[in-house]
Structure 1
Amino acid sequence: MDIIMIVKAIILGIVEGLTEFAPVSSTGHMIIVDDMWLQSEQFLTKYVANTFKIVIQLGSILAVVVVFKDRFIDLLGLNKLKKETIESEKRLKLSQVIVGLIPAAVLGVLFEDYIDKYLFSITTVLIGLVVGAILMILADRFSSKDPMIQTVDQITFKQALFIGFFQCLSLWPGFSRSGSTISGGVLLGMSHRAAADFTFIMAVPIMVGASGLSLLKNWQYFTFEALPFFIVGFISAFVFALISIRFFLKLINRIKLVPFAIYRIVLAFAIYIVYF
Structure 2
Amino acid sequence: MDIVLLVKAAIMGVVEGLTEFLPISSTGHLILAGSLLGFDDAKAKVFDIAIQTGAIFAVILVYWQKIRATLVALPSQQRAQRFALNVFIGFLPAVVLGLLAGKAIKAHLFTPVVVASTFILGGFIILWAERRPPSATRIQEVDDMTPLDALKVGLAQCLAMVPGTSRSGATIIGGMLLGLSRKAATDYSFFLAIPTLIGAGVYSLYKERALLQASDLPLFAVGLFFSFVSAWLCVRWLLRYISTHSFVPFAYYRIVFGVVVLVTAWTGWVQWAD
With the shorter chain as reference, the TM-score category is: 0.7 to 0.9
Structure 1: give runs of 5+ residues left out of the alignment: 40-44
- 1:209 deviates by 1.3
Query: What is the match of residue 42 of structure 1?
Result: none
Seen in structure 2, the aligned counterparts of structure 1 residues 143 and 177 have a Cα distance that, compared at 3 Å, is farther
Match of 1:223 in 2: 213
Offset at residue 2 of structure 1 (A):
4.4
Q: Post-superposition shift, 1:267? A: 1.2
Corresponding residue number in structure 2 for 1:73 = 68
Moved more, 191-200 or 61-70: 61-70
- Counterpart of 1:120? 110
C-alpha root-mean-square deviation of aligned residues, in Å?
2.3
Distance 2:31 2:101 in 1: 22
CA change 1:48–1:112 in 2 (3 A) is: closer
Structure 1 match to 2:55: 60
Aligned-residue identity in percent? 38
Q: CA deviation at 1:22?
A: 0.8
Cα deviation 1:54-84 (Å, max 9, x = unaligned) = 3321111211122222333344x3x26x976
Residue aligning to 1:25? 25
TM-score if structure 1 supplies the norm length?
A: 0.87
Question: Partner of 1:239 in structure 2?
Answer: 229
Asked if structure 2 preserves the Cα contact closer than 8 Å seen for 1:65 and 1:72, the reply is yes
Structural mapping, 1:31-180, within 5 Å:
31-39=31-39, 46-75=41-70, 77=71, 79=72, 87=77, 93-144=83-134, 147-180=137-170
1-structure distance, mates of 2:180, 2:237:
20
Give 1:185's aligned residue.
175
- Amino acid corresponding to residue 223 of structure 2 in structure 1: G
32 and 157 in structure 1: CA distance in 2 versus 1, 3 angstrom threshold: same
Tell me the equivalent position of 1:16: 16
Give the secondary structure class of the aligned counterpart of 1:203: helix
CA distance in 1 between partners of 2:33 and 2:15 (Å): 8
The 2-side partners of 1:90 and 1:50 are apart by 36
1:15 and 1:29 in contact (8 A); partners too: yes
Report the more deviating stretch, 195-204 or 55-64: 55-64
Shift of the alpha carbon at 1:213? 1.0
Deviation at 1:227, TM superposition (A): 2.3
CA distance in 2, matches of 1:89, 1:19: 31
| Amino acid across the alignment from 2:147 | F
In structure 2, the CA distance between the partners of 1:210 and 1:160, relative to structure 1 (3 Å rule), is same
1:266: which partner in 2?
A: 256
- For the pair 1:248 / 2:225, whether they are aligned, the reply is no
